[in-house]
Amino acid sequence: MGPFRRSDGRAEARQQTRVLMGWDRGFLYLACDCTDHDIRGHYQNRDDPLYLEEVFEAFLDTDADGRDYLELEVSPNGQTFDAWFSGRRSGRRLDWNPPLQLAVQVTGTLNDSSDSDTGWTVELALPLDSLPGRVRRPAAGVRWRANFFRIDKSGRGGEASSWQATPSGDFHDPAARAVIEFTDQGERP
């Protein structure tokens, strides 16, 4: 998926993000590769407000109804924020804490602006049995709605970028989520 563009869609992001997504019978897999010349992340606890710092975010509407959705965030220092919403910015449930399998790799030095870094990557496995709300489990032909975001605090003021443009400026806007369709291409029993 890509290239990431500034969230308003007007130009490509200064520092790119690439996202890959896959699935099998038990897990949804997400991977992202973030170019970043000054990697930062200070929060230390699950569900801290990671969106105030550098972060990768996934918004997943698992039944494509435009209402309830999941928000997953991962910071460069391996912290996570996970929430389930029953509607746009409403009914937020922070008690949804899926048993994520997570790996984050930083190529550079975290929280050291005196040098130049290369970037950071995230690999995440989300157990499908942990998904709340109405879920259409991945299978060939099943459609979800999704968007992926990146908040980069490098440089003057930083930059918000996304896979799909978000003209409203609200990452939670369901109109900014694209339809994704699962295929069985590459599926393994």
pLDDT tens, position by position, 92-123 = 999 999 999 999 999 999 999 999 999 999 99
The residue written with tokens 């996304």 in the block is 162
Confidence of residue 189 (pLDDT cuts 50, 70, 90): very low
How far is 112 from 148, CA to CA, in rounded Å? 26
Q: What percent of the chain has pLDDT over 90?
A: 87
> What's the pTM?
0.94
CB atoms within 10 A of CB 141: 10
> Domain spans of the chain?
5-181
The answer to whether the CB of 133 falls within 8 A of the CB of 149 is: no
Domain 5-181 carries which CATH code? Answer: 2.60.40.1190
Q: pLDDT per residue over 80-94, tens digit each?
A: 999 999 999 999 999
